[in-house]
Amino acid sequence: MDKILIHGGHPLSGSIKVSGSKNSSLPILAATLLTREPCIVHRVPDLSDTHYMLQILIHLGGQVERASGTVSVTAEKIESIAPYDVVRKMRASVCVLGPLLGRCKEATVSMPGGCVIGDRPIDLHLKGFEALGAAVRVEGGNIKVFAPKLCGAVINLRGKFGPTVLGTDNVMMAAVLAEGTTVVEGAAQEPEVVDLADFLNKMGAKIEGAGTRRLIIEGVKELHGAEHDIIPDRIEAGTFLVAGAICGKGITIKRVTPEHVKAVTNALGNCGFRLEATGDSISVSPNGETKPLELVTEPYPGFPTDMQAQMCALLSTTDGISVITENIFPQRYMHVAELKRMGAHVDLEGPTAVIQGVDHLFGAPVMASDLRASAALVLAGLKADGVTEVSRVYHIDRGYEHLDEKLSELGAHIERVKG
C-alpha cells in the first residue's frame, strides 16, 4: 500500500493547473446511459473514482474508450442491474439509478457502502423517484426501482442538512425522460449540478433553473449524443489555495473558475492572505500577520464541507483561536486526531472544532481516513518540521489527480513510496 512522505518546511512557489471536477465527472459519465448515441466527455480526471465509474458503465453494457482526459461512451444496449461487486467501491455509484430508471424504466443497484464521515442516506433520491411514479423496494442489500412510465411531479429535495447534490442529480436524470413537467424544489445549487444540467441540455433535455433552488424539467421522449468539457475541480483548486497559504511564497492556480471558490478565497482573505483573480487564474501570497477565523460549512454558495479539513490544517498554525462548525456532516472530523499527533491543538465540541494556533507542527506517521482528511494531512506535512508519513493514500487517489506530482512542481519535497 503506497505512502506519501513529506519533508516539511520548503516554501511553495510557481503555478499549477486544476484538473476537471471529480464531482461533475461521475454523474455526467452516468448520464451517458440515457442515450444510445455516442457521448464524448473531455477533461475527465485520472482518479480511482472515475475508473470505477467507467467499470460500472462497461458492466452495464456501455462501450468505453479513454484517451488521456477524454472519454467516449456508447451505451447502445444496456443492462439495468448493477450488483454489489461492481458498485461497492464508491458511494457515488448510486447516481446510475436515475439514468437507468429514466431509460429502462427499472433499475436494480446494490446499496452504496457506508462512509467514514458519517451517515449519508439516499432516502431523498428514492423519495424523488417515487414522486415520479416509480415503485421502490429495498431488499437483500439492493435498491429496486421500476415504473410502467414516469410522470412529471413537484418534488422537494431539501433534507436535514440541506439539499442533496447526488439526489438532485439522480432525480434530474430520471425526470428528463418523464412525461410532463417536473419541478424540483430545494434543489442543490452546486456548480457540479449546473454542469450536469448543461450536459443534459446538450443531449436534448429541457432543464431550466440549474444553479437555483428550483429546477423545472420538461420531459422529452429521447436524448441524443453530445460532447462536453468538465468544469474545473473547485475543491482541488481550494486545496491548492490553502497549500499556498499554509507554506507559500506566492503561487498561482490556473484553469479555475474564481466564482466557484469564492467562499474559500473570502475565508483566506479574512485570514490575512493576499489574493488576486484574473480570468481563470487565482494567486495567493502572504500579506503580513494572519488572523484566526470563524467558519461554518454550508451548502453552496456557502463554505464547502469538502474544504473543512484543509482549513483545519491551515488554522492549526494561525495565531489565535479559530472556530469551525460542521453543519453538513457533523461527524467529519476524523483528521483531528491525526493533526493532534503532529502537535495541533484542537478541541471538538459536537460539530464544532475549536483550534488554538501553535507555532510549529511536527512531522509524524499519520493515517488518512477519507479523501479530504488525507489532503489536510498532506497540507499539514508541508508546514511541519521534519518528515510526515501519510498512509492509506488510496483515499487521495480517489479525488486528486497526481497531487504529489503537482505539489512537487510547486517546490514541495514530497514522494510516493510503496508501503
51-80, pLDDT tens digit by residue? Answer: 999 999 999 999 999 998 999 999 999 999
Helix axes 97-104, 22-31, angle to 10 degrees: 20
Residue 294: count other Cβ atoms within 10 Å of its Cβ: 12
What confidence score (pLDDT) does residue 114 get?
A: 43
**Angle in degrees, CA 271, 116, 295, rounded to 5:** 20
Q: How many helices (H) and strands (E) does the chain have?
A: 14, 26
The pLDDT value recorded for residue 323 is 98
- Indicate the fold that domain 3-17+232-417 takes in CATH: UDP-n-acetylglucosamine1-carboxyvinyl-transferase; Chain (3.65.10)
Domain 26-229 has CATH 3.40.50.1010: no
Instruction: Give 194's DSSP letter.
Output: H
Cell numbers for 323, please give them. Answer: 472556530
What are the Cα distances from residue 89, in Å, to 4, 110, 204, 265, 417? Answer: 22, 11, 32, 33, 23
Average pLDDT, integer, range 390-411: 95
8 Å CB contact between 389 and 413? no
Same CATH fold assignment for domains 3-17+232-417 and 26-229: yes
In the block, residue with C-alpha cell 453530445: 226
Distance CA 252, CA 17 (A): 9
**Predicted TM-score (pTM) of this structure:** 0.96
| Cα 95 from Cα 173, distance rounded (Å) | 9
| DSSP H or E stretch at residue 58 | helix 48-59
Query: Which residues face 247 on adjacent strands?
Result: none
- Over 60: is that where the pLDDT of 104 sits? yes
**What type of residue is 85?**
D
Reading the block at residue 324, the C-alpha cell is 469551525
Question: What average pLDDT does this structure show over 171-177?
Answer: 98
pLDDT at 418 over 60: yes
User: Structural domain boundaries of the chain?
Assistant: 3-17+232-417, 26-229
Burial per residue of 127-164, b for 16 or more beta-carbon CB atoms within 10 angstroms, e otherwise: bbbebbbbebeeeeebbbbbbeebbbbebebbeebbbb
C-alpha cell at position 283: 494567486
pLDDT at 116 over 50: no
Instruction: Tell me the per-residue pLDDT of 275-306, one tens digit each, with 9 for 90 and over.
Output: 999 999 999 999 988 999 999 999 999 999 99
Q: Which residues does residue 74 pair with via DSSP β-bridges, in sequence order?
A: 63
pLDDT over threshold 80, residue 204 = yes
The whole-angstrom separation of Cα 404 and Cα 390 is 12
From CA 248, how far away is CA 280, in angstroms rounded?
Answer: 20
- Show the beta-strand stretches assigned E in 32-186: 39-42, 63-67, 70-74, 81-82, 106-110, 135-139, 142-146, 154-156, 158-159, 162-163, 181-185
Residue 117 has pLDDT above 70, yes or no: no
Nearest residue to 125 (alpha-carbon basis) of 141, 138, 114, 116: 138
Q: Are 39 and 225 in contact (CB under 8 A)?
A: yes
pLDDT in tens, 127-142: 999 999 999 998 888 8
Q: Report helix, strand or coil for 6.
A: strand
Mean pLDDT of the chain, nearest integer: 94
User: Which phi and psi (to 5°) does residue 144 adopt?
Assistant: -115, 125
Report residue 344 as a C-alpha cell. 495541533
Radius of gyration for the alpha carbons in the chain, expressed in angstroms and rounded: 21
Q: Cα separation of 100 and 34, whole Å?
A: 7
- For residue 40, count CB atoms less than 10 angstroms from its CB and return exposed for 0-12, middle for 13-18, buried for 19 or more: middle
The three-state secondary structure class of 66 is strand
Active site residues: 115
The per-residue pLDDT for 113 is: 56
- Where helices occur in 75-154 by DSSP H, the ranges are 84-87, 97-104, 123-131
What is the mean predicted confidence (pLDDT) over 158-177? Answer: 92
Q: What mean pLDDT comes out for the span 339-362?
A: 97
Say whether 187 sits in a helix, a strand or coil.
coil
Sheet with 39-42, edge to edge strand ranges? 63-67, 70-74, 39-42, 227-229
- With beta carbons less than 8 A apart as the criterion, state whether 378 and 2 touch: no
Query: What is the C-alpha separation between 275 and 214, in angstroms, rounded?
Result: 33
